[in-house]
Structure 1
């Protein structure tokens, strides 16, 4: 396909009847919950296209999560088709919450518009909250806010405007009222908070995750690079291989995005709390900015929250939701995520299939050559050996019209660098390390293949076996056909990380 003269011409030429590729490059993360917890449903989700399973540690016991992990692995064993699925632990993170209502933890009271409410940090009100006096579990809240600031409760349902601040109390006027329950989340938009980056619960959850051999941590409410380092410290030596993805969901995280991106293994644009912490009309801007920053340096970026929210209760998404998913793909995200849609929804498989179809259609409209040309202008020079090979491989795809890239990688870096270049074809990443295979689902366009065959000690013979394995899998999936040209990226020696060879083959 020839490159269009202009973007406008490219958009004019788009046609809904054009052929869509059978493969999807954007990975899909599914939150596992009561709706998808059993083995049979997990098997169906795997075959429908789930790449990463997310476990939300804001809910559920260790026994429940251990059972979910066991069910997922049983589903994979039952399928026995060589697929790998990554497991991600989403931490609860440092949160601010209200206390318990005086008339019971399950009760609700009405907080009326224009009424006066007092927030207190006095512990004696911890279990004695009313519609007039509400306990807040963040002791430094009186230092974090000042008159004129707004405080949101229960995902923004209730909005308070601060009028007066004392040592232990904050006087507020209710701007938006609503029904208040116990232990509701509190957001302080525009205010700097000094919450610890990792709580006691988070630490215990991470140790559980290490024992369960999880692959990824989604670090909630990331506010600084130092916070990411604290997560890594908590993971320790036994968990040093686990990828840490920082969730940007507050104003401090947005302001310190550059240092967080540099420290973390990737970023999640967590639009739920983010849409409360900053004006909703600016969320798209943060999404685009963070995506571009990650694309520039080749780190994975995830778009999450409310992507197909209506499918929690309905079998089809709204038109706006479909466009939201597609535009996230066009922005350049590596992964898109389903939350309540698959955790508690009535149509989890339908939501997953719909996301798969939208991603595939959106990817077919991207002019990859333009992206590659722009990327070459911003990549820091000189590039190292492996990065140079990745650039050359992507360029070769366009020159010879290859239908795929096969790379043999020990630590996954070669596949990551190829993903950074966004070639228009699939990247078949063959590795003998199952953890590397699972974690490569974070990277757009990468199809990780775990090679389980015996190695002989003959480097060249083993290399050919792994290449033939990749071609066999691609052929079986209908991605590779006889006579196709493939770009082969490998190391010319046995040293891990030394990607330094490129060749072109025609499949038999």
Structure 2
């Protein structure tokens, strides 16, 4: 029997979804930025790891890059919103069996975690679960006192400064724009290429707390809490775009629920007015290794064909060891012109 040759895969079927690339210490070099620019639909800056001066420095650097390369892309400034992060804290591989959480910005002790969010100390109760570092660490609150929370370590893992912390099953509400987020907006609002993303969106009403400050700049809703999943259509109508962010959402809903949630969002996409992107360990293997796994490559293909408008890379390009290889992979995965 004569074997038939396999026809070439059409360029449209080789296409990977557009990528939003997060910038950080691993991608601050001018040569690396020049490699990322051709494969980036947009860049992202996580304001949680910057002060206003640092944000201005990044925007100046990118503006110079755009001028030198003759091409510009939007830059998404990611605001914390209701998302909490711990303060300055030693980098440790594991926590003690019991820890205390205290208000403040800094701690030098491994058993004392600083949390600069007064709302946590108002709302926390014994029995609540706290997830840190994308659920790599889980704490159970045992006691709540005056400006001090005692907790037992249920799931142990690494922790370092500025990692996320949230309460399950109900994160704190977004009640007002924080001084920190306001300072980030003030530092960037004058750049016409800037867009904004809001973390831990709960409902369409959250957009109303930001719109008056943004002067027409685009606003993106990050879907990271279970309450938001029940109101996707309303959030879509109030924001300009949405991102399904599987890191914190996995901590809130449970990792086992991510598949059904992603499928549910994919079925809603045709009825949404605005684009929806997928975030969270999209090419996680490339944070540590120069090639993606076969599973990641197949997943990327399926994401593009399930209706998502694109993907958001985080650690892969912000702190990864192989940022140039990520750029090379995205370039190879792009359609031929």
Question: CA 1:265/1:179 → structure 2, altered by over 3 Å: closer, same or farther?
Answer: closer
Is 2:33 the partner of 1:42? Answer: yes
Aligned counterparts of 1:69 and 1:22: Cα–Cα separation in 2: 35
RMSD: 3.3
Is the 1:87–1:214 contact (alpha carbons within 8 Å) kept by the matching residues of 2?
yes
Q: Which residue is equivalent to 1:220?
A: 199
Aligned counterparts of 1:111 and 1:330: Cα–Cα separation in 2: 42
Is the 1:38–1:71 contact (alpha carbons within 8 Å) kept by the matching residues of 2?
no
Question: CA 1:99/1:71 → structure 2, altered by over 3 Å: closer, same or farther?
Answer: closer
Unaligned runs of 5+ in 2: 1-5
Match for 2:230 among 255, 258, 263?
255
The Cα shift of 1:124 comes to: 8.8
Q: Which residue is equivalent to 1:18?
A: 9
Is the 2:76–2:194 contact (alpha carbons within 8 Å) kept by the matching residues of 1?
yes
Q: In the TM superposition, what are the counterparts of 1:35-434 in structure 2 within 5 Å?
A: 35-47=26-38, 49-80=39-70, 83-98=71-86, 105-106=89-90, 108=92, 111-112=95-96, 115-117=97-99, 119=100, 123=103, 127=107, 131=111, 134=113, 136-141=115-120, 144-163=123-142, 170-178=149-157, 181=160, 184-235=163-214, 239-240=215-216, 242-358=217-333, 360=335
The Cα shift of 1:294 comes to: 3.5
**Cα deviations by residue, 1:427-475 (Å, 9 ceiling, x for unpaired):** xxxxxxxxxxxxxxxxxxxxxxxxxxxxxxxxxxxxxxxxxxxxxxxxx
The Cα shift of 1:293 comes to: 2.5
Is 2:19 the partner of 1:28? Answer: yes
Aligned counterparts of 1:32 and 1:168: Cα–Cα separation in 2: 35
Aligned counterparts of 1:109 and 1:33: Cα–Cα separation in 2: 22
> Secondary structure of 1:211's partner?
coil
Deviating 4+ runs (over 6 angstroms): none
Instruction: State the TM-score, normalized to the length of structure 1.
Output: 0.57
Aligned length: 332
Unaligned runs of 5+ in 1: 1-14, 361-477, 480-508
Aligned counterparts of 1:260 and 1:44: Cα–Cα separation in 2: 35
Aligned counterparts of 2:63 and 2:119: Cα–Cα separation in 1: 44
Structure with the greater relative contact order (CA < 8 A, sep ≥ 6): 1 or 2? 2
